[in-house]
Homo-oligomer: A and B are copies of this chain.
Amino acid sequence: MWSTRLLVLGLVRWLGPVHGYLVRRELDSWRLPGVSEIGAGSIYHALKRLTADGAIEVVGTESVDARPARTTYRITASGETEFQRTLREKLWEVSASDDPFHTAWTFAQVLTPAENIAMLRQRAETLYGRVEMVTQVLASTTSDFKEANEEAFLPAHARAMIKRQADLWAVDAEWCEDTAGRIESGDLVLEPDLDADHAKYWRESISSDRFVERVAMFREGLES
């Protein structure tokens, strides 16, 4: 995934000479919960790959006490170029995101309406809880470095990013409540699971070119 590479490269660039463990702690602490995380192994792998590619270089290997030796890295000129290029590329392109709920909901009609309603309401509550939490974080911090006691400092772009996440969680929660209500009221009727006729129809539709063409048109429209 480019995101691991970009994050690790960006952190090595930003933190100056660093060893893998600091990058790892950085990532662990920085990233919002509910936003996907990067495993320890991936970070070390990325560091090695970036080194092999000449984007970063080894500064040295120190051994404090009898602790495991640690290798320190620094960004190179070619790494700086790659970073600037990749960053712009990824910010400008509106790329696909991997949404686990979207995937799972594909099979929503397998659950009973009652179970779906319970699930959606619970999800909405969890999401509203998150919104409240990050709202409090925003309220208890400031982007003004000078005025603040240092502990309350949170950079402006990080605050903006958190705000975005809160907005996204909030509409997601609203959608959940709305959808639960629509199932309850009978406005939204989920096809029963494995209805023989419909399943047969779908099997045929999927194979048919008619269907594939319609979807293709739809996709082209979106990509243009």
Interface positions of A (Cβ within 8 A of B): 3, 6-7, 10, 14-16, 22, 25-26, 29-30, 32-37, 83-84, 87-88, 90-92, 94-111, 115, 119, 122-123, 126-127, 129-130, 133-134, 137, 143, 145, 150-151, 155-157, 160-161, 163-165, 167-168, 170-172, 174-175, 179, 182, 188-191, 194, 198-199, 201, 203, 205-207, 210-212, 214-216, 218-219, 221-223
Contact = CB atoms under 8 A, between A and B. Distances in A.
Given A37-B96, A91-B105, A94-B101, 9 more contacts: A25-B207, A34-B96, A88-B111, A91-B101, A94-B127, A95-B100, A105-B157, A133-B221, A168-B168
A154 to B, nearest CB: 10
Nearest to A154: B214
Contacts of A175: 163-164, 167
Contact of A96 (B100, B108, B190): B100
A80 to B, nearest CB: 10
A170 to B, nearest CB: 8
A29 B212 contact: yes
B222 A130 contact: yes
A203 B91 contact: no
B35 A189 contact: no
Closest 4 CB pairs of A and B: A36-B98, A90-B104, A98-B98, A36-B96
A157 B190 contact: yes
Nearest to A90: B104
